[in-house]
Each structure stands twice: as structure tokens, then as C-alpha cells.
Amino acid sequence: MKPLAECLLYAFIDTAYLGGRVPEDVARELCHGGADLIQVRAKNKPLAEIREMGERILPITQRAGVWLVINDHLSVALEIGAPACHLGQEDFFHAGYRHRSGLIPPGSTLKIGLSTHAPEQAEQSVAAGADYIAVGPVFRTATKPSAKPVTLNYVRWAASHLAAPWFAIGGITLENLDAVLEAGARRICVVSALLNSTDLAAACRKFRDRLTAHNVP
């Protein structure tokens, strides 16, 4: 797998957007299209179902050299040997943790990503040892309809202040991608704009090509 700092495209297998598709097939298409990370997001699914899904997808991402990220459930990530886990502010700071070392067993190489919605949260997350952070939601998104957009202003702040790897997230499409990149983002998360596509690999490549061109020195 690439170092997180070299990753550009963060994709998702969100069970709310599968539309009857098999998660493993979606994983293969996203890997084929050039995703660097794939997060398994299964809100309101039983823990056993999430674990089984992760176990089926992990060999696919491993063969492709892609990071598999388990959303919310640290125990699942540790049990199946996933390389990363993503947590929200409520799962980390609101749960009483102050540093990633309080979560990770000795000897574990598990990486931790944290969601952030404001500069103060970003600074706190970096100080807590987060391996990467998500910056958003940049735009209004049906994935989290109640979340207030942070706008491109937060992206600009992140570009000026953050040294740790960070990914812009929330309502990013091919139509608004240039604005996100011009605001200073180098890495992005894409959910519905990929999963609503009829050709996942092709959609993934379109995002990948734009990101690669933008990141050429």
C-alpha cells in the first residue's frame, strides 16, 4: 500500500448506496478504477454482518494494494486485520479518548482516521496522533443530510495549516471538483458520485485522472 500521504482517492462501500450490488464486486471495481483507500460504511448493520463483509473484502483490497478502512468499529478492524479504522468526533473525543495510543493495542499497526468539521477539531485531531483526518462536509450531501457544510473556507484553512494527510469530503462531484482542488485540496473522499454511477471503475478513473493531473509537480 502507498503511504497515506501519497494517497489521493478515498472511495467507499456504503451499504446505503449499494442498490443490490455485491460489496465484493464494488470493491473490485473501485480497486480497478484506482481508489487508494476504500472504507466500509454500514450504518445500522449488525456488527457480525460488518465483520463478515470486511473479511470478504480485505483479500480483494490486499491484492490491489489498497487500504481497507472500517468505519466506526475499531473492534472489527482489529479482529479482521484491516489496516485502518475511521472514527467520528463522537467516537473518539466524546468517548473520552485524547490520543490514539489509548485505542490501539501495543504492537498494532492499525491507522486511525478522524472526521473533523472545524479548524479546532483538526488541530485537536492532529495532536491526538490521527494518521489522517477528513475535512468536511465541504458541500451539502445526502450521505449526511443533517450535517452543515463547512464550505471551501475550511478546505482553504486546511491547505494552509495542516501537515498531516487530510482528505476533503462531502458532496464532491466531478462538477465541483475543480473548486475543491483550487481551494487547496490534494486528496478527496467520494461517496455518492461514485456509488450512484453505473460504471464504478470508469467513474473512479475520471476522479483519479483529475487528481493525478492536479498533483503533478
98-135: pLDDT as tens digits: 999 999 999 999 999 999 999 999 999 999 999 999 99
Spell out a b/e string for 53-77, using b for 16 or more CB atoms within 10 Å of the CB, else e. Answer: bbeebbebbeebebbbbbbbbbebb
Torsion, Cα of 135, 58, 20, 196 (10° steps): 30
Q: Is the pLDDT of residue 40 over 80?
A: yes
pLDDT per residue as tens digits for the range 97-108 = 999 999 999 999
Give the CATH number, domain containing residue 207.
3.20.20.70
Q: How many CA atoms lie within 13 A of 9 on its CB side?
A: 28
pLDDT digit string, tens, across residues 42-53: 998 999 999 999
- The Cα 209–Cα 206 span in angstroms is 5
Per-residue pLDDT tens over the stretch 164-199: 999 999 999 999 999 999 999 999 999 999 999 999
* pTM metric for this prediction: 0.96
pLDDT tens digit sequence for 145-155: 777 899 999 99
| Residue 142 pLDDT grade (very low, low, confident, very high; cuts 50, 70, 90) | confident
Helix (H, G, I), strand (E, B) or coil at 5: helix
DSSP symbol at 105: P
- pLDDT on residue 140: 87
- Report the number of distinct structural domains present in the chain: 1
Q: What is the pLDDT of residue 141?
A: 80
Angle in degrees, CA 173, 174, 177, rounded to 5: 80
Host domain of residue 72: 4-215
**How far is Cα 156 from Cα 161, in angstroms, rounded to an integer?**
9
